Chain A
Amino acid sequence: KQEVTQIPAALSVPEGENLVLNCSFTDSAIYNLQWFRQDPGKGLTSLLLIQSSQREQTSGRLNASLDKSSGRSTLYIAASQPGDSATYLCAVRWSNYQLIWGAGTKLIIKP
């Protein structure tokens, strides 16, 4: 069964720290993997998309890596800020259409 797991479920760090969020998935035959941010009661904001042929993608202070063979992706956030506080979701596309989602990591950045 194709599943996506995110550990830890919650993470609290002081402002300014660099941090890594983890996503693991079964079945390495993916099309792509997408990282999202979700603020409480809000929609889903796409952060980064990594194609199956890529190793990493960067956007500002965010860097996402992909290791298909081990079924893992990481989202690296540099110099964290209180505004980074949100739930970060990982979603994997195996088929042509649907995304299969992890449960998310709730990140709190303490000022």
Chain B
Amino acid sequence: EPEVTQTPSHQVTQMGQEVILRCVPISNHLYFYWYRQILGQKVEFLVSFYNNEISEKSEIFDDQFSVERPDGSNFTLKIRSTKLEDSAMYFCASSVSQSTDTQYFGPGTRLTVL
């Protein structure tokens, strides 16, 4: 069964460093998403991406965040200058269409900022 994959599973970085989190969505899916979950808190939406552009973003997704689909399979989330409060589990998701379809999630990348 096709699945969303994410690498790395765990990333440790120093405050102020740039990190890139990588995702491979399900191959026939057209819509891609990033969410995050700070330990003990609710899952929060960051951004959605379609047709090589951001379709929706939350207040959390400020100028230090960016997303890219560098080739036909990968979808990346870049955090330019990490802060302690960026420590969280980051989930990538994909769906075939927008409103009506199930979003399928990857296993997540645990980001720890020291």
Binding site for B on A (CB under 8 A): 31-32, 34, 36, 41-46, 49, 51, 89, 91, 93, 95-104
Contact = CB atoms under 8 A, between A and B. Distances in A.
**Which range holds the interface residue count of chain B?**
20 to 34
A98 B45 contact: yes
Nearest to A102: B42
B107 A43 contact: yes
Contacts of B42: 101-104
Contacts, number: 60
The secondary-structure label for the interface of chain A is strand
B45 A99 contact: yes
Nearest to A91: B43
B105 to A, nearest CB: 4
B91 A99 contact: no
A31 B101 CA distance: 10
B100 A46 contact: no
A109 B54 CA distance: 41
Given A43-B107, A46-B104, A51-B100, 5 more contacts: A42-B107, A91-B43, A93-B99, A97-B31, A100-B45
A54 to B, nearest CB: 11
Given A32-B99, A93-B99, A97-B56, A45 B45 contact: no
Contacts of B100: 31-32, 51
B58 interface: yes
B98 A43 contact: no
Q: Could you say which of A46, A98, A99, A101 has the most chain B C-beta atoms within 10 Å of its C-beta? A: A98
Contacts of A36: 105
A45 B106 CA distance: 9
Interface string B11-48: 00000000000000000000101010000011111001
Interface in B75-114: 91, 93, 98-108, 110
